[in-house]
Chain A
């Protein structure tokens, strides 16, 4: 080994892989994240990809990125800036140079920095380092394409397949720099290409050659060691992303309710993976119906709910718009239904692959008539499981549609998750009406929850009709009586409000009083948490109040808000939750920090903002 090489020990590192959208950067990043997690680090990832299937090769529009943050302590975000950037072409470097920490390492595929590459990426010169002001960075020009060709020249693979493997060469280099074991990735090749042994061998070889190349060149003066995480609670872990966790949480709710899970859905980015994951789970009896459109997705789910399945539908922003009319039907028929909305940039088709929190008002109000709905938001990739489970529990036990909000950032992002045991989750007991119930009234309610009974078709003695027209208070028959309508509007609102009695009190992270309370909801948790921790480490009296239950909100909210001098609501929209709070708790003054760029917050910008607020700017 090279004796001159120094090994630096770090607590945490951020690596960003970037390349053309055909370069396999998402896979490369995922493999690196998985290897780090399996090695025992805590990990947080951020896939950042374009919405075009294939933008013109080598252009800025086609750059796909995947950021991995891993550490020997708990990591809460994918990191604002990266220590190492891998850029497979000039466009990737141009698009991502601003995300590298000053003085950080940049590895580029030198073979792509030719005239054509520079021109496609819109450079003014043929000198990326000067043009992008990277003189203070460690930029390594490695001939990755040619070395990959050399490495695989005897592999028997065709030229296209060989060139496609260059991402594995780059990955091998990164494995060397961070002293990652290769075996997890090699196992992945063996599984993924089990029917093509020559592809397994080729990938292994190119990965090792990349590793060895990095070890041999003197350009890489130091490597880094990030120890296994020791601060994580003991237990068995796995990696999970938000969409998978959501799917599994829904299945868990079905299991606890002893009912089949039915998902009627229509593919839409970034929610599609939930449907894909559920479709795999026929082994657990899950029925998925890929409907002809979003409206059919939710309507099949409503039909399935009527017929006695735990029914869900999944979508993203524009799809939720299409489902609006049917949401009202679910409210009127008082059937259990979970609607998952994985938020993305809007309005309209907006930024399909970018994250945002701008569907909140639609979730709360996007229906005709007085149509209140329970709204819940997950806040990390792994807790999508818990909140999907809770959405199911509330929907079934309270006989109401529940809208679960996640977002592109936590849906695609992944983190290690301490595997829970189902025995630690509560039972779900829907008010199922027994066959032959005497004097059954379809809209009679239990006193505590105001939930009506769930009477499955096929059962004797409880035949009844439901529908979208206003219901008689007890019989459920059509009623146009004015006072009955008022009474039904009131009781539907009260039913949703009663959910407050069944959700936990709101927690505050940090002291229960102070100068500034940072308020957030949903997928911004990790960034807000890190920013608040940094403020507190610097002696500032700042705490975090992060919401998962949006409607109704926990009981103790006003009590919490009243203990702080200033309140700032931070969200990736123009102030939707702030306005929700203004409506519900009018006695407080709310400052706002909003960002709508299709990107998560950075910890840096949050800390800067909080300091300004404390200084009264």
Chain B
């Protein structure tokens, strides 16, 4: 009999709950991508549907667990990383997915987020970045650009935004990828890679908020210009982009530089090959920080480095200690050490 995990369809991961995001919200596309990715993850990793746990904090994105037909936990504001960490340590066989927004993960949950990344606990964090607070109706977020005019910054923000990739790599993150909500195929593909990675996988999904920050990514997401303004990175492949696949990235001194192949003496041989597995974060950091219009925005898996995970380390240490332990039960414990008879 063929195992169930071989035959899931996206339909199997749709819950009976009505999806209540605004029409046109990028979240719909991301939900589609997840429901597309999970059958593939199940097939590749031999996971049953019950093995998935979706954990979220608060915000529009955090309604996500209700819409996926598996185990789910809709937590409190900013604390999804902590809750997900507890789930994973309690039962390391579970496939734990954290769904969070830029406000949830990087403002109120900033502490938990960086520490989850630092510990390299094996959870998959889907970070929906729309550069705005949606559920509380239009206040600036930690990723809103300097000067952004919002309800709480009527004269423009005066604070510098976080760049999630920089934060992740700065916290010793081992997996960072980026996608666009509208590119369901790429998003699903990245999610499968994130699931296969042991350790904290952070997938930043640039997501449009139709109500409070519509068009935040139009300059790169727009179909007409997208190919010239983003670069999709794939491990082992040349860093080329552009409608005509004639642009590429080279290293010039200690910086990346965009060149046109066939111009200025640059040939395909000069173009960098993407090495996502390189433990050295230098180039990954530069790729993650590229911003339009100086550079194309990097999509795809930017960093994917193997390392031991927190949950495995906890489990291994417990097993190691138990193997040679003299104390096997609470009775042993109570009677250990200095005791005397009366």
Contact = CB atoms under 8 A, between A and B. Distances in A.
A and B co-occur in one complex = yes
Given A282-B318, A457-B53, A296 B115 contact: yes
Interface string A296-309: 10011111111111
Nearest to A297: B82
Contact of A283 (B15, B79, B91, B325): B325
A608 to B, nearest CB: 35
Given A465-B65, A465-B72, A301 B86 contact: yes
A422 B329 contact: yes
Nearest to A462: B50
B83 A299 contact: yes
B285 interface: no
23 contacts: A232-B342, A233-B342, A252-B330, A281-B333, A282-B321, A283-B322, A283-B328, A284-B329, A292-B111, A296-B115, A302-B83, A303-B83, A303-B85, A307-B86, A422-B329, A422-B330, A456-B91, A457-B50, A457-B51, A458-B93, A461-B50, A466-B72, A478-B66
A285 B327 CA distance: 11
A581 interface: no
A291 B82 CA distance: 8
Interface in B210-256: none
A419 interface: yes
Interface string A132-150: 0000000000000000000
B192 to A, nearest CB: 21
A285 B323 CA distance: 11
Interface string A381-425: 000000000000000000000000000000000000011111000
B33 interface: no
A549 to B, nearest CB: 23
Contacts of B329: 255, 284, 422
Residue among A239, A292, A459 with max Cβ neighbours from chain B (10 Å): A292
Interface in A516-538: none
Interface string A327-344: 001000100000000000
A386 to B, nearest CB: 12
A237 B330 contact: no
A235 B115 CA distance: 48
A262 B329 CA distance: 16
A37 B337 CA distance: 13
Contacts of B79: 295-296, 299, 326
A465 B72 CA distance: 4
B322 A285 contact: yes
A75 interface: no
Contacts of A325: 76
A304 B87 contact: yes
B136 interface: no
B53 A307 contact: yes
B71 interface: yes
B70 interface: yes
Interface in B279-312: none
Given A237-B339, A295-B79, A307-B94, A457 B48 contact: no
B179 to A, nearest CB: 25
B3 interface: no
Interface in A246-295: 248, 251-252, 255, 260, 262, 264, 281-287, 289, 291-293, 295
B55 to A, nearest CB: 7
B90 A260 contact: yes
A282 B90 contact: no
A300 B86 contact: yes
Nearest to B70: A463
Contact of A306 (B73, B330, B337, B342): B73
Most buried by A among B112, B322, B331, B334: B334
B200 to A, nearest CB: 14
A545 to B, nearest CB: 29
B337 A459 contact: no
B339 to A, nearest CB: 5
A530 to B, nearest CB: 21
A289 B85 contact: yes
Give the residue among B48, B51, B71, B90 with the most A Cβ atoms within 10 A. B90
B330 A465 contact: no
A467 interface: yes
Contacts of B330: 248, 251-252, 255, 284, 422
Interface string B79-101: 10111111111110110000000
Interface residues of B, number: 56
A300 B342 contact: no
B248 to A, nearest CB: 41
Interface string B39-63: 0000000001111010100000000
A88 B18 CA distance: 73
A464 interface: yes
A234 to B, nearest CB: 6
B90 A420 contact: no
Nearest to B85: A300
Contact of B334 (A238, A260, A287): A238
B338 interface: yes
Contacts of B322: 282-285
A237 B322 CA distance: 26
Contacts of A562: none
A302 B341 CA distance: 41
Contacts of B86: 262, 264, 289, 299-307, 311
Given A262-B90, A468-B76, A459 B83 contact: no
Contacts of B91: 307-309, 456-458
B90 A303 contact: yes
Given A282-B322, A299-B83, A303-B84, A458 B94 contact: yes
A207 interface: no
B22 interface: no
B82 A299 contact: yes
B36 interface: no
Interface in A172-225: 184
A282 to B, nearest CB: 4
Given A236-B339, A300-B86, A307-B87, 14 more contacts: A235-B341, A260-B90, A282-B325, A283-B328, A284-B328, A304-B87, A304-B89, A307-B94, A311-B90, A422-B329, A457-B91, A458-B94, A466-B72, A466-B73
A138 B53 CA distance: 70
Residue among B83, B317, B331 having the largest count of chain A Cβ atoms under 10 Å: B83
Given A37-B340, A303-B90, A283 B321 contact: yes
A539 B62 CA distance: 67
Contacts of A464: 71-72
B263 interface: no
B75 interface: yes
A419 B90 contact: no
A111 to B, nearest CB: 34
Nearest to A264: B86
Contacts of A422: 329-331, 334
A39 to B, nearest CB: 8
A500 interface: no
A283 B339 CA distance: 20
A460 B87 CA distance: 17
B339 A296 contact: no
Contacts of B90: 260, 262, 287, 303-309, 311
